[in-house]
Amino acid sequence: MRVLTTVSLVISVAIALTSCSTGSRVDLGNESAGNLVAAIAGEPDQLDPQKTTAYFSFEVLENVFDTLVAPDANLEMRPALAESWDVSPDQRAWTFHLRHGVSFHDGSPLTADDVVYSYRRIIDQKLANSDKFSAVTSVTAPDQSTVRITLEQPTPNLLTNLGGFKGVAIVSRRNVESGQIATHPVGTGPFAFASQKSGDSITLKANPAYWAGAPKVSGVTFRFISEPSTALSALQAGEIDWTDSIPPQRVAALRDDDSITLEATPSNDYWYLALNETRPPWNDVRVRQAIAYAIDRDAIVQATSYGTAVVNQLAIPKGNPFYTPYNGYRHDIENAKRLLSEAGATPKSLDMLVTTEYPETVTAAQIIADNLAPLGITVNIRTVDFATWLDEQNNGHFDMLMMGWLGNIDPDDFYYAQHHTDGSSNAQKFSNPEVDRLLDAGRVETNRNARADDYAKAATIIADAASYIYLYNPSVIQAWTTRLSGYEARRDGAVRFSTATLAPGGTI
Amino acid sequence: MAVLTHPIIRFIARRLLYSLVVLLGVLIVVFALVHLVPGDPVRIALGTRYTPEAYNALRSASGLDRPIVEQFFGYIGSALTGDLGVSFRNGDPVTVTLLQRLPATVSLGVAGILIALVIALPAGIWSALREGRVSDAIVRITSQFGVSIPDFWLGILLIALFATTLGWLPTSGYRPLFGDPAGWLRHIVLPSLTVGLVAAAIMTRYVRSAVLEVASMGYVRTARSKGLPPRVVTFRHTVRNALIPVLTITGIQLATILGGVIVVEVVFAWPGLGRLVYNAVAARDYPVIQGAVLLIATLFLIINLVVDVLYAVVDPRIRLA
């Protein structure tokens, strides 16, 4: 019985200790006191910006690293580490002039050698982002504040390739060669890496010497809270200041909640269906079109996003300069039946590959199964984890799959890899000579209007031929405390706290 | 020398040797399993930015292009020296990562099992002693309810009540015991209650049936008919003898919690082993999966050993041999 007495004593002490303090944030530890606390939905896999592909990593690294140029809120490329640049008349030599007085977080100055080293590392080690440099023939440093890039062919989207996201960040040679970059990254950005607690949080501290001005908060602590309802509770309790881990079904109610700020910004991401064109009858364009007519996009958007996403029959969303209106399909079963009989196809079953990694694919699959039933097609939903999904996609083991493309900026990001005959992500094996020609032309066309025209034509053919059956553009949904200002939810999903201000007060 | 020949010491030494064999077996099975399961760690690391060149470069950098037998013996060799390799994802030494996660997991396991015992022992004994009465029915119905309740739902309810509404406790997160004991306590209350209540519901039923079984034994009737006070009969004769099955279920429950309570860890953003294993499996991070399973197997073996030794302590009739 003595054990029991001790235990009940411990419990009483626990209650006494805990009931006298409110849901406070004073005990985050000294280094993070006064920091902005942001909850992200998962732990970064690693912190080397050039090697990671995880969004969670980029949420953190967006604040640690810089690129030569960087997208503004409208995704136009603006000077960053490069203050200005000149382009040769033949568009094949670009000269970037680096900003003076920029230092890495370890105090060493940024030089043109660092830029050359960063790009050579991506190219020579064939890192995942090396396709951004496919047209580059050389990167040199004529002097310590100039970087010259020469190209095989004119590349109108070079700036997007060099600054579209932090996967092409300028890294420190010393940091890479010491092997520290994956766990202790050193950048030039507004915040410097301070510490990481495995499975719990990453803490950054403000870089007072930041070239665009010192951040207004002392630092940022990123906590990993993957359960959205917990993250929301933590926000409402004042334990965190910002989160993008939000239950979609709560968005409508949260819009009316004055105690927090909620922003839902239409993003450049898109979700699509793709039918495997190496397998009959899906190689017949009429059969693919039948599927495109049979699905109910509005129902899919409602079920996957509770209405926060926007239906789109092409990839590029409204508001983007490269937006092309397209309304070729509507939910029309009779038309779908007619197309199937024209094709003489009577598919009885369809193997649909979806993954628990992206729950929207599992949800949408159930609606699609229901949509295709009137055509006499039984959809066999195969739900696998992402590792298996990638394997199956790679090996062509599917009739149809649903997936999304995230973080696209230039139209080339939206269409080339996915629909060019030689595209690296053309898992559905679409091939159309006219589309190939237009996508190749778009890569070198320097006249903006002519280029937009190339992509509008290519996109229309892609949708008509149902290489992808486009579904919707999701929104970037983020919520933060009303004490936070100087921050906005960006359409590329980049999370930047460099100009954020945290008003005092609120919780103690 | 007398110490070394003590039966308990000899027993423990033999069990430790046997444990090594078990661990080797665990390693072989896990190593085979991770390589057999579909999914390629290199493919996942590259995600949608896949190119064949990048794939081959990363594959050889991770050593995955070597023959599998060579990979296995290389792994065993370094594992014996305590080096469990480095994570494919971030290059962190697996041993270091596991040691960082261990305190949170052990904290949750110990706190959860204490809460479970505090509830299950009195509730189970009381219920057994009042078998068939209303109070017994209440305990049984409550524990049935506890067994059926999904732990994530219980966790979310506790957060809604104690963190959001009342504001007494933090919603989530973890603080180390050594460094911030008060913070540790405040953060562990809700997750350990979630784990503990679920375990308590299971254990109450075991305690009850164990006590009932012993209470029907001849020696308890004899004790009672000798005229011993009911209190003495209950605690010295009945409960003490019922402790053996209770110890067993306690060990199993503790091992289960230590093996990772993923759902509870997710709900409370608790940096335990469960989420580490879950993420490692999702990324097919072979070294982390192997290391974590090895650690969890070791914890199981230790708990098993401690429970076996405790059997002998609780019941001197049991000989450790």
pLDDT digits (tens, 9 = 90+) for B122-171: 999 889 888 888 888 888 899 888 888 888 899 999 999 999 889 899 99
Distance, in Å, from the CA atom of A399 to the CA atom of A385, rounded to the nearest integer, reads 18
Would you state the pLDDT for residue A270? Answer: 95
How sure is the predictor about A507, in pLDDT bands with cuts at 50, 70 and 90? very low
A482, A484, A486, A489: CA torsion to nearest 10: -80
- The pTM of this model reads 0.86
CB neighbours of residue A8 within 10 Å: 11
Residues A417-455 have pLDDT tens digits of 999 999 888 999 999 999 999 999 999 998 999 999 999
Chain B: nearest CA to A270, how far in angstroms? 14
User: b vs e for B158-196, b when ≥16 Cβ sit within 10 Å of the residue's Cβ?
Assistant: bbeebbbeeebbbbbbbbbeeebeebbbbbbbbbbbbbb
Whether B282 contacts chain A with CB within 8 A? yes
> Which residue in the set B50, B163, B235 is minimally distant from A23, CB to CB?
B163
Of the listed ranges A50-64, A294-308, B13-27, the least confidently predicted one is B13-27
Would you state the pLDDT for residue A2? Answer: 43
Does the pLDDT of residue B5 top 80, yes or no?
Answer: no
Whether B110 contacts chain A with CB within 8 A? no
Whether B150 contacts chain A with CB within 8 A? no
CB neighbours of residue B208 within 10 Å: 24
Whether B100 contacts chain A with CB within 8 A? yes
State the average pLDDT for chain A: 90
User: b vs e for B257-288, b when ≥16 Cβ sit within 10 Å of the residue's Cβ?
Assistant: bbbbbbbbbbbbbbbbbbbbbbbbbbbbbbbb
pLDDT top residue among A306 and A1? A306
Most A CBs within 10 Å, among B35, B37, B50, B250, to test the A interface: B50
Q: Do B186 and A18 touch (CB under 8 A)?
A: yes
The answer for residues whose C-beta is within 8 angstroms of residue B155's C-beta and 6 or more apart is: B190, B191, B194, B263, B264, B267, B268
CB neighbours of residue A370 within 10 Å: 13
Whether B154 contacts chain A with CB within 8 A? no
Would you state the pLDDT for residue A248? Answer: 84
Chain A: nearest CA to B120, how far in angstroms? 11
How sure is the predictor about A31, in pLDDT bands with cuts at 50, 70 and 90? low
Does the pLDDT of residue A4 top 70, yes or no?
Answer: no
Of the listed ranges A55-64, A187-196, A280-289, A402-411, the least confidently predicted one is A402-411
The whole-number average pLDDT for the span A33-56 is: 91
Chain B: nearest CA to A362, how far in angstroms? 17
Q: Do A233 and B50 touch (CB under 8 A)?
A: no
Using CA atoms, how far residue A483 sits from A32, A164, A262, in Å, is 17, 30, 13
Phi, psi of A454 (to 5 degrees): -55, -50
Would you state the pLDDT for residue B47? Answer: 66
Q: Do B48 and A53 touch (CB under 8 A)?
A: yes
The whole-number average pLDDT for the span A189-198 is: 95
Q: Do B118 and A125 touch (CB under 8 A)?
A: no
